[in-house]
Structure formats: C-alpha cells, structure tokens
Structure 1
Amino acid sequence: MGVRMVQEYERGVVFRLGRLIGPKGPGLFWIWPIIDRMVRIDLRTITLELPPQEAISKDNVTIKVTAVLYFRVVDPNSAVTKVFDYGMATMQIAQTTLRNVVGQSVLDEILSQREQINNELQRIIDEQTEPWGIKVSSVEIKDVELPQSMQRAMAKQAEAEREKRAKIIHAEGEEQASLALARAAANMGAEPATLQLRYLQTLVEISAEKNSTIIFPIPLDMIEPMLQIAKNVAKSTTPKE
C-alpha cells in the first residue's frame, strides 16, 4: 500500500480500477498501488488573466478588451470527471463570453457601465462552468483599447464640451454683472445723492494716480451748493457802507 498526503487547500480524487472513489484529504491517507490512481486538485482561488480580445461593439466600433477572472474548484469530482482541463475550458468560455457581451453593448456603455458588464460576465461564465464544479467569484474588465481615430474624435468632443461649458459660465457671469449694474443704476436713479457720492469716490481714486494729469468734468449741480455757500460767506464779510 502507498501513503499520500494533500494540503489543507487540496483534495486528492482517487480512482480504483478506473472507477471514481471520491476525494480524499486533507492530510494523510492510503491508496492501493497499481489499482489506485490519484488526481490532485487545488481548491484555492485562481486568477486567470484573459488575453486581449478584439470585439465589435453594438455601434460598430472595433475595440480590444482585456479582463481578469477569479474562480475556484468547489466540486473536485466534477472538475476531474466532467471536463478534460477545467482551467483551459474556463478560459475559452470566458473569452467567448467577453466578446459576446461587448458585442451587445454600445461603446458608451462599455466605458461608463463597467460594473454592470462585469456582473453580466460573472453570471454567464459561472452558469456555464457550474457543471464542471467551478465557481466564478468575479470578472473584471481591466482595459478597453480604442482605435486611434476614435481616441482623437473623443478628445475633440471633450475639448468642445469644455469650451461649451466655459462659454456658458462666462455668459452666466455677464448676465449676473448686467443684473448688478441694472440694480445699481436703479438705486442711483432713485437716490441722486448716491450718484454724487459715487462720483466723488471716483475722483478720489483718480487723484491717487500721481503720474498723470486728468481733466475731469464736474457737473454743475454737484458744486452749486458749494458756490452758494461761498456767495453767502462773501456777502457776510463785505463791509457795509
């Protein structure tokens, strides 16, 4: 008799005279030489990186998609007896499913709705590999490669969107400034004194410029009160005959 040992994360599927006995392990167990044969199966999660798949989206854009698949064996007997090479078979199913799902989606969905596409891929691949004792836990699209012409077109579209947004913001700012000026004009029209004070403030600001001479007209109605005061003072100081 022979002794075999498998790790905690392994199972040994034993055949006796060609007939399935079942999984053994973990730990030590006995098998009969010559008449028994053991196939070692790893139960840990396997990371399977799919090669780039060229596909045509629903809106007729040719793209290359890469993805990664996470799966593990949950039924060692089926993984040995139902399929010749469960790893290779799972990869082939994953590649075919990836091309099919991408072909049923438009480019915008592929770029913006990856989570939904990942879930759909996981569901389909898991259903197809379940008879082999395989459990697909996750499928993730890693990269979507676009043609150079499509990349340039998308860059131009993004630039146009940015310019459009900038123009909208500028127009909104102009509108707010116009409204503010209209309110200020209305207030000054209702209160002439406010306009005069603003006029004087402007004169003060201009006077701060020491390198230039500025001739600034002053409305007569603004200095008329001062002229009247000057006349009154002159009359009061003139000697009476």
Structure 2
Amino acid sequence: MEAAMSTPLAWTVVVLSVLLLTAMASLRLVQQYQRGIVFRFGRVLEKVRQPGLRVIIPIVDRMAKVTMQTVVMPVPAQGAITRDNVTLTVDAVVYFRVVDPIKALVNVRDYGRAVLQVAQTSLRSVIGRADLDTLLSDRERINTELKAAIDAPTEKPWGVLIERVEVKDVALPDSMKRSMSRQAEAERERRARVIAADGEYQASRRLADASRAMAATPGAFQLRLLQTVVDVAAEKNSTLVMPFPVELLRFFAQLTEAKAAEQAPTVPDDLRALS
C-alpha cells in the first residue's frame, strides 16, 4: 500500500521538477539597455525582444542579447603622411552604438572589432587628404570627414551608427616641431617690425603736420625750441651750451620793438605841426 502511494508521489515530484526546469529554461531577462534576438532552429526571428522578462521555447529557440548603449572606442595611434608630405602620428576616439541589432549580430562577426578596423583605415585615408595646417587649425573639419568615412560602410550593412569621431592627439617629429617654432618666431618678429614701422610712419606724419604749423607761426617754433632746451637741462641736471639762433634774436628784437612802441608817449598833433 505504501509502495503504491509512493510511486505516484514520486512521479508527481518528477513531473513538477521537469515543468519547473522547463519554465526556468524558457525565461530570459532582457535588460533596459539590451535587445534580444531569437534564433529558432538556426533562423533569426524578425521580432526583436524588448527589455523585460521574455519567454522562448527551450531547445528550439536560442536568444542572443545585443547592447544598445553608446560605446567609446579609442583608436590606437596611426602613422600617416599628410598631403604636403609630413609624417606624423595621430590617434582618435570613436563613439558608436547599435541601431539595428539583427544586422549587427547577423551581418558581421564582432562588430566592435570591425568598426575599429574601419576607423584605423579611414583615419589614415583622411589624414592623407589633408595638409598639416588644416589638421592643426581646422580639427572640426577633419572630425566631420572622418565620421562620414567610418559611417558609410557601417550603418546600413552592419546596423551601427557612428555618433562622433574626434582626433585626440597629433604627434609631430622633433625636426618639424623645431621648424614650426622657428617659423612662429619669425612671424612674431615680422609683426613687431610691421608695428614699429607703422608707428614710425604715424610719428613722421605728426611731425610733418607740426612742422607745417610751426612754419606758419615762427614764434611757436622758437617757443618750442626753448621748451625743449628747458626740459633737457632739467632732466640731465646739467648746464647746456648751444649756439643761439639768429631767428631767435630776430624774434626777441621784434618783441622789444613792439613793447617800445607800446610804451612810447603819444605826441599831440599841434606839437607835431610846430616841430
């Protein structure tokens, strides 16, 4: 009797265990940043499993999960030659994410490594089409061209979108660094000379205007000369010996005559007639 009762109980436990294991095997948890791709008998199902607890058929189905997060991938330093034949080393960083998980999983094996290889070849190609000045001064243009070059073979065939590409560092040879330093120094000297020459030109124009103004009024020229003599003597704290100009004597003579004429007594007209 006990043996008869134990046999159905054992079978019940076995069946429940099998059902529990089957249920556990059929459940898959898809995270918020993931998408699930189901293969049934080796063929991919078109419906992409969204985040949450998903059910598949054990043994028949197999689920692969694809991360939809943005991936930051550094590109190792690449040796390249610019359009003006300058040898340098450039490294970059690529930001990409999967937009079509089925293509990323089915059409390419290890899409991350594939994007890296495309980025390396595209980096050398874009650098080869640009000159050194553009590479150093217009970095945004280089980044845009590099993004377009990497995005073309990856988005539609592989379902991978290139969000941004940035050139991180440009390493120049030591000889090129010295040459650029000499060029920058020469440019600074040229600008300094241009500024000095412009200042001298402006000063000469002001002096020419002042000389024309003083030529119209000789008295102003003499006063300016005296002021200069006083300033020099006061600055050096010494006695200054200089020739006395004839024009200055004439100027003083004119001043003396004018002052004497003003101080002379006025003779009445009747006395002037008697004389």
TM-score by length of 2: 0.79
The match for 1:221 among 250, 256, 265 is 250
Identity %: 50
- Gapped regions of structure 2 (runs ≥ 5): 1-22, 266-275
Q: Per-residue deviation at 1:113?
A: 2.3
Partner Cα separation in structure 2 for residue 35 and residue 233 of structure 1: 131
The match for 2:98 among 67, 70, 73 is 73
The aligned counterpart of 1:99 is 124
127 and 195 in structure 1: CA distance in 2 versus 1, 3 angstrom threshold:
same
CA contact (8 A) 2:95 2:164 kept: yes
Amino acid at match of 1:25: Q
The aligned counterpart of 1:7 is 31
Partner Cα separation in structure 2 for residue 79 and residue 233 of structure 1: 111
Q: Per-residue deviation at 1:9?
A: 1.7
- Gapped regions of structure 1 (runs ≥ 5): 237-241
Partner Cα separation in structure 2 for residue 226 and residue 115 of structure 1: 76
With a CA cutoff of 8 Å and minimum separation of 6, indicate the structure with the bigger relative contact order: 1
The match for 1:182 among 208, 214, 218 is 208
CA contact (8 A) 1:14 1:36 kept: yes
Q: In the TM superposition, what are the counterparts of 1:102-181 in structure 2 within 5 Å?
A: 102-130=127-155, 131-181=157-207
Partner Cα separation in structure 2 for residue 206 and residue 221 of structure 1: 24
RMSD: 2.3
Report Cα offsets for 1:74-125 as digits up to 9, x if no partner.
0000110001100000000010011111112222222222222211111121
Report Cα offsets for 1:179-226 as digits up to 9, x if no partner.
111111111001112212223333443464583222344421232245
The match for 2:75 among 38, 42, 50 is 50
Partner Cα separation in structure 1 for residue 236 and residue 98 of structure 2: 87
SS of residue in 2 equivalent to 1:41: strand
Count of residue pairs the alignment pairs up: 236
Q: Per-residue deviation at 1:32?
A: 2.2
Amino acid at match of 2:138: Q
Q: Which has the larger radius of gyration?
A: 2
Partner Cα separation in structure 2 for residue 191 and residue 155 of structure 1: 54
Partner Cα separation in structure 1 for residue 170 and residue 233 of structure 2: 65
Amino acid at match of 2:77: P
Greater per-residue strand proportion? 1
SS of residue in 1 equivalent to 2:140: helix
CA contact (8 A) 1:97 1:124 kept: yes
Q: Which moved more, 1:176-185 or 1:3-12?
A: 3-12
207 and 235 in structure 1: CA distance in 2 versus 1, 3 angstrom threshold:
farther
The aligned counterpart of 1:239 is none
Q: Per-residue deviation at 1:42?
A: 0.9
211 and 117 in structure 1: CA distance in 2 versus 1, 3 angstrom threshold:
closer
Greater per-residue helix proportion? 2
Partner Cα separation in structure 2 for residue 66 and residue 183 of structure 1: 60
176 and 228 in structure 1: CA distance in 2 versus 1, 3 angstrom threshold:
same
CA contact (8 A) 1:5 1:25 kept: no
Partner Cα separation in structure 1 for residue 35 and residue 228 of structure 2: 91
124 and 210 in structure 1: CA distance in 2 versus 1, 3 angstrom threshold:
closer
The aligned counterpart of 2:85 is 60
